[in-house]
Chain A
Amino acid sequence: DLLCIMANEGKSSPPLFGDDDDELAQSPEPEEQKFSDVSTEEPDKGLFDDDDEEKGNAEEGEKEPEAEIPSLDVSDVPKKVAKSEEIVKEAEATDEMKEEEEEAEDDGGDEFTMEITVSDPQKVGDGMNAYMTYQVKTQTNMPDFKSHKSAVRRRFSDFLALHSKLAEKSEYAGRIIPPAPEKSVLGMTKVKFSKEESTGSVDFIGKRKTILQRFVTRVSKHPVLRKDDDFREFLEKTEDLPKAKGTSALSGAGFMRLVRNVGDAVSKMTSKMEESDQWFEEKQLELDALEGHFKRLVTGIDSLVTHRKDLSTATEAFSKTVALLGTVEEHEPLARAMSQLSDVEGKIDRLHQEQSSKDYFIFGELIREYIGLIAGIKACFSQRVKLFHAWQSAQATLLKKRETETKLKASGKTEKLPDIEKEIKDWEEKVDNGQKEFDKISKRIKEEVAKFESTRVKEFKSSLINYLETLMLTQRQLISHWESFLPEAKAIV
């Protein structure tokens, strides 16, 4: 029933099958369950989402919900925080210092350059076990890298695994993790079984390559995420990365993920918090509306892409009939004109094809990516809610402990008092930390969203202008084709 619903919801990636990896050949590995519990592998179509990938992110920042909050003292902070690291080794960092280290996190990343290209898809193997690898070339002057230039080969599941890791790290709680590339079982199956250059598979691989490129580019642009160790390893380790188990939906790990996601979805819907900060409520509404508009837009763009492809086919067919008509024409100049018209229409057919692909890759991809980013923001919101609940639950426990203390005092059973008092002290600390974490994530989310919004303005403008320029180019080419035809038409009689 669960799986049935999922199968119905899924469009391009029915969740029952693995992706390009030969997961189907593997038997589920129960010992990996622990990994998958914690892992926030892309939900293979959450029950309540359409295309959003990031629902699984609702999990991060939380290892065990009801039990102890992991003490988020500074030793858990990622090692690559700048020089201020030494300062904050103390057990009780002041808020001021915490702020400093956060700023250092944010600013330190921007001074370095990093450029990554994903290219050269190669098919490895045949049949069900086949997969594609892509070359990932990096050029950077970031200090931790072994060399300024590196080139490695990675497969799709490596990208997914990287995303997983980033999404699950608690130190990135509140950060917008760039959306993971979409899985597509149907597309990939075609590639596995297709001959070298069948257009269907070339299209699909081209699309996938673009998506992978955008993913790593966005990570590289994020001042905090770009310094991540796993990211660096992904970019420079020449050996193959350990196979990401648990990225398949079919394994036992995958099944557990399914169950988790449902639980998550349900809890997401039912769990609310008393929102003291209007900003979050308003922003949630705003993002929901934006997401809705984007989804409509993508549907519209996809329809445009398809229609243009149809036009290209119809134009080609027309071009052929015109050529034939030219061959039976008795009047020489008109015969020439028809033959020329046929050429022109043939060239126009190719123009339509190219424009269609630009519709998809420039306009369509922009919106699709932003749908993913919004999902990422929503995941952060969820994380915040979880932290809030953790904090509240700690407060509840503290209250209970205090009540117990009062009772003990009242009843005179003073032997147990020291224990209780110690517990109270622990829980007071936990409550304190819980609040700090909640405040921290709230602040961080606001920063990330602000950055998102300003980036969005820039990216939208530049991508949309880029797209318009492709339209202009198409028109210019049309002009040159018709200009070449006009004299032939005039010469008919």
Chain B
Amino acid sequence: RSSDIPYVLSSPKMMDGADHPDKLGGESKTTTDVDLTDTTLVVDISDALSEQDKVKFTVHTKTSLPEFKKSDFSVVRLHEEFVWLHDRYFENEDYAGVLIPPAPPRPDFDESREKLYKLGQAEGTLTKVEFQKMKAELEAEYLATFKKTVAMHEVFLSRLAAHPTLRNDSNFKVFLEYEKELNVRGKNKKERFGSLWKDLTKSVDEALVSSHKDSDEFFEHEKTFLVEYNKRVKEAARAGFRMTRSKKGVADCHIPIVATVATLGTSDTHGLSKFLNKLSDLLEKVRKLEGRVASDEDLKLTDLLRYYTDDTKAGKDLLYRRTRSMVNFENTNKALEKARTKGKDVATAESNQQKAKDKFEHLSEVGKRELQDFKTRRLAAFKKGLVELSELELKHARQQIKLIAEFIGVAGSLEYTPAKAIEQ
């Protein structure tokens, strides 16, 4: 079974005029290198609709597995239902040793909306051209956010479908098949409990690292590593986000400059007209390039870091579950000893101990494999992301040089008429 699935998102295709801002065409949004030889269960998000505050995902399944009623079907799901599905896996003791794919982040268009609002407020101070351009940029940003959220939700499902254990889960089947809405509202209380438990796990970092010194070298190392790594990659993701957002800001700054240079060009009567108009065109292209650099960095670098923040957290959760299981095992050991000394309920104690032992050992075995796979995936993802990032950076930089050099080459010959004679 393939263990080299990077689960990293590639750049969603830049929108072209045909795209509706709110709806996606039926294209595959990710290039997750899912093992293509296994087509027994293939899940993707074939469509998505942004409505008011909600995004409606069309989850499309193609399967040859007998347990499903049909072989090709779709349902509509909301983000909350994805979270519900994740929680079902998360709370299931059977999957304690498995690295549960992190739930996709909530679709967040707040920033886009706020920017659009601010732009609306500022409309009076901008020229028509500037306003149109800024609006177009914000719409593109909105669309990019939208595509991203779709991709994140899809990756979550793809990972589940590809995992030999997780794909067989009954809740997963319900999620994929059940045509009506899954009533997840009532889960609020349970989610609150769930989140309480999650909060507990946050403060468990120290517990993982300090207490329960593991005799198993592998897990001992993983503990230290994952706790530290998770912390650092989270900071890097945050800093990366600020950087790419700032870079987009620099690109957007060009809008008023381009507009004013164009106006100067159009109104010039002394020989600068062609020069300035062409300069304005050039600066517009530069702006677009800088915008591309920002969005490519966001996808290849920031998203990579974000994703592995979530995934390393999932790894920590696994370790925590294992630790709990280990504690449980140790407790049953103690209980057995006690029972033996007392000579009472020995059989029960023995049975409990055996169950705990089996559970712990199985969990450790699965967990070890999962974490090894995780490492392989992580390294492959980082390599892919960083290589692609560098190549894109180089590509865009070369393009910018080419554009500017072309302009300078032509600029010398652009219309230069000496001042007209003074009319007396």
Residues on A with C-beta less than 8 A from B387 are 486, 489-490
Stretch at the interface among A24-32, A229-237, A322-330, A377-385: A322-330
Q: Which of B249, B380, B405 neighbours the largest number of chain A CB atoms within 10 Å of its CB?
A: B249
A451 and B407 contact, CB distance less than 8 A = no
Q: Chain B residues near A446: list those with CB within 8 A.
A: 422-423
Instruction: Check if A303 sits within 8 Å of B256, measured CB to CB.
Output: yes
Say whether B418 contacts A454, CB under 8 Å.
yes
Contact A447 B422 (CB under 8 A): yes
User: Among residues 292 to 335 in chain A, which have CB atoms less than 8 Å away from a CB atom of chain B?
Assistant: 293, 296-297, 299-301, 303-304, 307-308, 310-311, 314-315, 317-318, 320-322, 324-325, 327-331, 334
A65 to B40, CA, bound (A): 98
Cβ of A457 to closest chain B Cβ, rounded Å? 5
A327 and B235 alpha carbons, distance in the complex (Å): 14
Residue of A nearest to B391 (CB): A486
- Interface digits, B250-294 against A, CB 8 Å rule (1 contact, 0 not)? 100110110011011001011110011001001000100000000
| Residue interface mask B388-418, A partner, CB < 8 A = 1 | 0111011001101100110110010000101
Residues of A close to B408: CB separation below 8 A: 465, 468-469
Q: How far is the CA of A303 from the CA of B126 in the complex (A)?
A: 15
Is B375 part of the binding interface, using a Cβ–Cβ cutoff of 8 Å?
yes
Which residues on the B side are within 8 Å of A320 (C-beta)? 239
* A-contacting 9-mer, from B8-16, B226-234, B314-322, B333-341: B226-234
Contact call A493/B229, Cβ cutoff below 8 A? no
Q: Does B366 contact A (CB under 8 A)?
A: no
- Chain A contributes a number of interface residues (CB within 8 A of B) equal to 62
Q: Which of B264, B272, B380, B386 contacts A341 (CB 8 A)?
A: B386
Within 8 Å CB of B404, what residues of A?
A: 468-469, 471-472, 475
CB < 8 Å neighbour of B239 from A296, A314, A330: A314
Nearest CB in chain B: distance from A333 CB, A: 8
A311 to B391, CA, bound (A): 21
| A327–B264 alpha-carbon span in the complex (Å) | 52
Q: A476 contacts which of B235, B257, B383, B401 (Cβ < 8 Å)?
A: B401
Interface string of A456-472 (1 = CB under 8 A from B): 11001100110011011
Contact B418 A297 (CB under 8 A): no
A464-B279, A472-B401, A492-B379 known; A457 and B272 CB under 8 Å?
yes
A479 at the interface (CB under 8 A from B): yes
A315 and B424 form a contact (CB under 8 A): no
In angstroms, Cα B235 to Cα A26, docked, is 55
- Contacts known (A482-B390, A492-B379); A300 close to B257, Cβ less than 8 A: yes
Q: Does the CB pair B397–A318 fall under 8 Å?
A: no
On whether the beta carbons of A318 and B242 are closer than 8 Å, the reply is: yes
Whether the Cβ atoms of A301 and B379 lie closer than 8 Å is no
Q: A293-B263, A321-B232 are in contact. Are A315 and B225 (CB under 8 A)?
A: no
Pair A451/B232 contact, Cβ less than 8 Å = no
Q: A322-B236, A492-B379 are in contact. Are A311 and B423 (CB under 8 A)?
A: no
Q: Measured between alpha carbons, how far is A447 from B419 in the docked complex, in Å? A: 10
Query: In the bound complex, do residue B270 and residue A334 qualify as a contact, i.e. CB atoms below 8 Å apart?
Result: no
Which 9 A-B residue pairings sit nearest by Cβ, starting from the closest?
A489-B386, A492-B383, A300-B256, A321-B236, A318-B239, A454-B419, A300-B257, A304-B253, A314-B243
Subset of 10 A-B contacts with CB under 8 Å: A279-B423, A300-B256, A300-B257, A318-B240, A341-B386, A443-B422, A450-B419, A468-B407, A475-B397, A479-B401
**15 further A-B pairs in the complex, CB-CB below 8 A; given A314-B242, A472-B405:** A293-B263, A293-B267, A307-B249, A314-B246, A321-B239, A324-B235, A325-B229, A328-B225, A330-B375, A454-B419, A464-B275, A475-B397, A483-B394, A492-B383, A493-B379
